[in-house]
Amino acid sequence: MTTKIKKTPKKALPTVAVVGLGYVGLPLAISAAEHGYKVTGIDRDLEKVLSIKSREAPYLDKDLNDKLKAISAENFEVSDNYRHIAGADIVILCVPTPVHENHLPNLEPLEQATRSAAPYLKRGATVIVESTINPGVCETIVLPILEEYSGLIPGESVYLAHCPERINPGDTEWSIDNIPRVLGALDMKSLSRAYKFYSSIIEAPIHLLNNLAEAEAVKVVENSFRDINIAFVNELAMSFSHLGIDVVNVIEAASTKPFAFLPHYPGCGVGGHCIPVDPYYLIECGRQNGFSHQFLSLARSINNRMPRYTVDRLHEAFAEKGWELKGSKVAVLGLSYKPGVDDVRESPSFSIIKEISRRGGIPVAFDPYVLEKSDTKSLSEALTSSKAAVIATAHEDFQSLMPKYFLDHGIQVVIDGRNCLPKERFLTSSLIYKGIGR
Ligand code: SAJ
């Protein structure tokens, strides 16, 4: 007699909707699809949606492109219409949280995404915010919108958690799979639902916090920590240049201390959608709650000053040559905010370009990763027409340049805004070489 073993039907995985398919949302959507979830990706940028539909990553990331191509259509659909999230068990908001020109937080994209998603939320859905926000945003901004536009009751028919993103664009070692995460939520039910999802797609530990505000605080603290440390070495760079001390040598020497020192490096400025942005969320949050973050604000002003300081170095070099910056062409090498990426958000390169123009110079920009915003189609072309070159992004293509290459193109001044060139080789050449703090 054979006993039929009744197979308990495998409980279908929750369905997932990811709103915002940029550096954060797209890797997350792909990872969830790879782990068997049925994922709907939403983005208001139709071009991006069509690119992803055709299985082409909308930004430079080879690894992601390969993963995207391997995802089946039934596991990952994309749309620019929020009605496609209807029925999703989990809805994850991964939209940008930038700052306005005046550095005040701009929560409009998050508010808009929440307003657009809320009417399509099913009863019992779990909403997770991955966007970087300051303490209090979930409680005072996201929750009221959810309640008003979905008609659902937080903690009863809709759940909310915050799991701040920790994507490091261009990093091949740390990816969404192995970066530890932190998670806070409205209540235990929200926490356990969100934890179940993340622990099913992430191999790394997930650190649970007591509430939404603690989780919101973690990310802005992480990135403010980085910003103040960069400001510290930028200030040292400006100070040590008066003492003839190479600050990079000092930092590298200090790094030999096996504890209680974490190296950061000076440069022509702090770009990206995280580091120069997140501290302003904490500064404004403090201000609204009666506290003035003087230290964070000072660090921001030091880092914001570095593009101008870089052009000061250029001006010094021109003075040494007896040249006028006014009317002179200057090649600005690098537009993206860090090496190996095509992301120009908050890039200091544009402040350098603006400052050169303000002083009457003629900037000629070139970035092999950002050709559409470059003034020339090649490095050689950018150098040929210029008297000087400023390295603003430490792309690999630039790090290998030697003095002869510059001299052969008529360049006699090199300002190394990322201290990425072999200083000794340049100092022994006929070029004037100046770094940032070296
Ligand atoms: N920078 C310096 N000196 C430094 C480090 C960075 O001037 O010592 C400048 C870079 O040139 C760049 C900007 O700061 O213009 C930001 O550089 P970043 O390496 O911090 O790159 P991001 O913005 O991609 O930061 C991300 C962040 N990840 C998340 O927010 C999830 C950040 O938390 C990480 O610490 C960082 O990657 C990292 O460690 O690479």
Q: How many angstroms is it from 392 CA to the middle of ligand 1?
A: 15
Ligand 1 pocket: which of 130, 178, 255, 338 to mutate (most atoms <8 Å of CB)?
338
Q: What percent of the chain has pLDDT over 70?
A: 98
| C-beta atoms surrounding 15 within 10 Å | 18
Choose among 97, 96, 162: nearest CA to 129: 162
Q: According to the model, what pLDDT value does residue 9 have? A: 58
Average pLDDT over residues 191-196: 98
Relative to the CA of 132, which ligand 1 atom is closest?
A: 30
CA dihedral (45, 48, 53, 55) in degrees, to 10, reads -170
Indicate whether 118 pLDDT > 60. yes
Q: Please indicate whether residue 385, judged by its CB atom, sits closer than 6 Å to ligand 1.
A: no
146: left (phi over 0), alpha (psi -120 to 50) or beta: alpha
Helix, strand, coil in percent for the chain, rounding step 5: 40, 15, 45
Q: How many angstroms is it from 275 CA to the middle of ligand 1?
A: 6
Q: What percent of the chain has pLDDT over 90?
A: 92
Q: Please indicate whether residue 169, judged by its CB atom, sits closer than 6 Å to ligand 1.
A: yes
Indicate whether 11 pLDDT > 90. no
Instruction: Look at ligand 1, atom 32, and give the residue with the nearest C-alpha.
Output: 223
Among 138, 163, 274, 420, the active-site one is 274
* pLDDT tens digits, 301-358: 999 999 999 999 999 999 999 999 999 999 999 999 999 999 999 999 999 999 999 9
Instruction: Look at ligand 1, atom 29, and give the residue with the nearest C-alpha.
Output: 166
Q: According to the model, what pLDDT value does residue 6 have? A: 62
420 as an active site residue: the answer is no
Q: How many angstroms is it from 389 CA to the middle of ligand 1?
A: 24
Q: According to the model, what pLDDT value does residue 251 have? A: 98
Average pLDDT over residues 195-215: 97
* pLDDT tens digits, 355-399: 999 999 999 999 999 999 999 999 999 999 899 999 999 999 999
* pLDDT tens digits, 30-49: 999 999 999 999 999 999 99
Q: How many angstroms is it from 337 CA to the middle of ligand 1?
A: 9
Q: According to the model, what pLDDT value does residue 4 have? A: 62
* 330: β partners: 363, 388
Which DSSP helix (H) or strand (E) runs through 313? helix 294-321
- Confidence bin at 154 (pLDDT 50/70/90): very high
Q: Please indicate whether residue 265, judged by its CB atom, sits closer than 6 Å to ligand 1.
A: yes
Q: Please indicate whether residue 267, judged by its CB atom, sits closer than 6 Å to ligand 1.
A: yes
Which DSSP helix (H) or strand (E) runs through 363? strand 362-366
Q: According to the model, what pLDDT value does residue 173 have? A: 92
Indicate whether 8 pLDDT > 60. no
Q: According to the model, what pLDDT value does residue 195 have? A: 98
Q: Which residues contact residue 86 at a Cβ distance below 8 angstroms, ignoring those fewer than 6 apart?
A: 120, 122
- Give residue 169's identity as a one-letter amino acid code: P
